[in-house]
Structure 1
């Protein structure tokens, strides 16, 4: 099937919006309904809920956009594909803009749904921008940057491992679930240091929404806070894709080609006729 670039961008917009609806929606649940009598405790789940809901958001985002656009849902993924020849560079910017806009709209919808509870839990919108955007647990640029590089390299490398038919023949059948579980695992393993954005659109779109909605702690006042979730994932995605191609993808391609050539040689070898 052939689709126009506009159709693909609309699919990316909707898929990313679905991802953000579930992802920021669960953070709103956990944050806004915390038990005030028990600091640190929550009424509606905790960090495990957040990890699983983000993973399910990825799953449903892939189901939404996958057939039309491939469901990148992430500018870093689009760039990683383009850097390794899997995707045209000419589509990276339109896809990225669609993803950022989808993330913005998804976050705005969640804010609208929970506006009444924000008024109860944080009337001045002074401390809850973290519902929508990521913030570092440690000072400095490098801890969060390294965290985002590692997390996104894992994401990109494993996406390629799942999708590579030479490496995983059944990847097409269960690939969306596998990718969702990759996101869950990254969150469980690396989620606390910088919120595991691993996706520039996932962070920048909702963060821009908090700025326009009047949140006071958006993070835009400190360069490292909002640039790390943009730069780190891009670097990590390209690195993960290159490592996969060098260590796994290209060896599999060479072995497959050699096997095909050997088979062709066997098929063309003349056989003796009846004597």
Structure 2
């Protein structure tokens, strides 16, 4: 047989179906055998491209559903026209946001790592080699999830908002604050920024600590419980003055929603673009400083640029030890393709 004949036979065998090779009809083959395919249909192949950003979207949506939902229930119920008696207090607010954060991480943790916060995503890219190509998709997913959740909560409570505001369609910052964050009147600009900086600093310090394999991390799957505790603690200790956004998507998504449903430009013009320099820049600043402090004083893994070998060490091919979990902060092991 010639080389060309051999090549033709090999190509034909490679393209033949398994049932054809075994001499069985597709019906008989299907009744006798079962096999796994990663893409059983067209949608499953497309889903692979958006799965991680979609997980971030659903996780952040869960966070905002619980958070803005508890804000609306507690505050709106103080009006007797809305409810016969108040349905919660400041502690209820803290528990609602903590539950939302923990459950949001649980929803998305095994797929995307459960960041549900652009500040966490940026910090992991800077300090833990999280792929930069994924950062835009994650942040967009987080923002969209926050916007969708805020819109759902508004649709659920808009009748109560009308009663609270004193008229149908009346929209002021008193109810806009149920969705985005606003500071107390006595707070100077620098103190507002610092308040959000502190909250984000604490959050990221804990996130990087629990994802450090050499620092007594909780078992995989229990990191959402740690997130619950830290969010509850931040709210109880630092939530009064600026509303502890500590998450740019948590503030910007609902703020965009309020601007679109009747609140207008006032939500962005408040205190000379407060929305930018406090919940966004303050959160990002705290989120970038906390890992730097942690890495300088504690972390010794090779993921951080702080532990990059010196020139003399590189001459001997030295490197730091690998220590970080691959899916921080949620603590789940990543899926492996079959």
TM-score, normalised to structure 1, is 0.85
Which whole-Å CA distance do the structure 2 matches of 1:63 and 1:151 have between them?
21
Give the CA RMSD over aligned residues. 2.4
Following superposition of structure 1 onto structure 2, how do residues 3-82 of structure 1 map, counting pairs within 5 Å?
4-36=48-80, 43-82=86-125
Which of 1 and 2 has greater Rg? 2
TM-fit CA distance, 1:198: 0.1
Q: Which runs of 5+ in 1 are unaligned?
A: 258-275
> Is 1:210 equivalent to 2:254 in the alignment?
no
State the aligned residue count.
252
After the TM superposition, which segments of 4 or more aligned residues of structure 1 sit over 6 Å from their partners? 251-254
Residue pair 1:76, 1:199 contacting (<8 A) in 2 also:
yes
The verdict on how the C-alpha distance between 1:205 and 1:251 changes in structure 2, with shifts beyond 3 A counting, is closer
Following superposition of structure 1 onto structure 2, how do residues 81-96 of structure 1 map, counting pairs within 5 Å?
81-96=124-139
The verdict on how the C-alpha distance between 1:238 and 1:44 changes in structure 2, with shifts beyond 3 A counting, is same
Residue pair 2:79, 2:164 contacting (<8 A) in 1 also:
no
Partner of 1:268: none
Which whole-Å CA distance do the structure 2 matches of 1:12 and 1:205 have between them?
14
Residue pair 1:74, 1:201 contacting (<8 A) in 2 also:
yes
Following superposition of structure 1 onto structure 2, how do residues 95-244 of structure 1 map, counting pairs within 5 Å?
95-122=138-165, 123=167, 124-126=170-172, 127-137=174-184, 138-215=186-263, 218-222=266-270, 223-227=272-276, 228-244=278-294
TM-score, normalised to structure 2, is 0.70
TM-fit CA distance, 1:224: 4.0
Partner of 1:264: none
Say which structure is richer in helix. 1
Q: Which runs of 5+ in 2 are unaligned?
A: 1-37, 39-46, 308-319, 322-338
TM-fit CA distance, 1:173: 4.2
Residue pair 1:164, 1:171 contacting (<8 A) in 2 also:
no
- The SS at the match of 1:214 is helix
The verdict on how the C-alpha distance between 1:140 and 1:71 changes in structure 2, with shifts beyond 3 A counting, is same
TM-fit CA distance, 1:217: 7.7
